[in-house]
Structure 1
Amino acid sequence: MSDTVPMIHEDALPGHESKLTPEPQWQPRYKGSDRLAGKVAIITGADSGIGRAVAALYAREGADIAIVYLLEEDDAQETKRIVEAEGRKAITIRGDIGERAFADEIVARTIEAFGKIDVVVNN
């Protein structure tokens, strides 16, 4: 399994969510209705922005989450904390989804952690 850092210039990427202006608003507070109870979701780009919002709200609805991200480890760990605060399990997987071998690794690691995959959000 690969933990190599992709060869991408960081200035060309969206970067850390904490540096975005205005800050993304993804925190509506409501009790989930368990629409995704027992489901497992892979969400790419889940370290920030729309991907983080999807991860948080899928967790609120009962899904466990595989958080796939490219570079921002601190953002990915914050998304993991958010998912776990919703009472769900989360794993983080770092790499470039443009590489076929990494896509295969995402599937293998998700199945290893959760036993299945029900939803893939290619954000």
Structure 2
Amino acid sequence: MIIIEYVNEYLEGEPPPNFLWRGKVLDFLQLVKDLHVLGVSNGQNILLNEFNYISIEDDMQIELYSNKDKKILNKKEDKTIIIDLDKKLWREIIVQFLHISFEESHDYVDLDEYVVLEDANFIISSDINN
């Protein structure tokens, strides 16, 4: 199970707000497979709430889009979080998810080499003890 939450507290030394995804190694591998389409072509969308191995706290809805030239790493609108990125940027994020699917670890999802909109720090963790 991957648990996703948007928290207003310090996590991993990062000031709030934080967008935290934590779960088991094999669930992140499944996530990589399910998100693959976002890195293949623009014009795709996924509603994370539809996956039975993902639990989203506080009745949030998470919408993922791949659209040409988009650079929204995370944007919160009421109870909805939107991630809208070009397929090339999705490939970079999917590789980060793949990286933490090999062993228990955590990482910060950032696209520092690009100018992106992000309302919160994006932290991913397959360290189930974390």
TM-score by length of 2: 0.28
1 or 2, which has the higher helix percentage?
1
TM-score by length of 1: 0.29
1 or 2, which has the higher strand percentage?
2
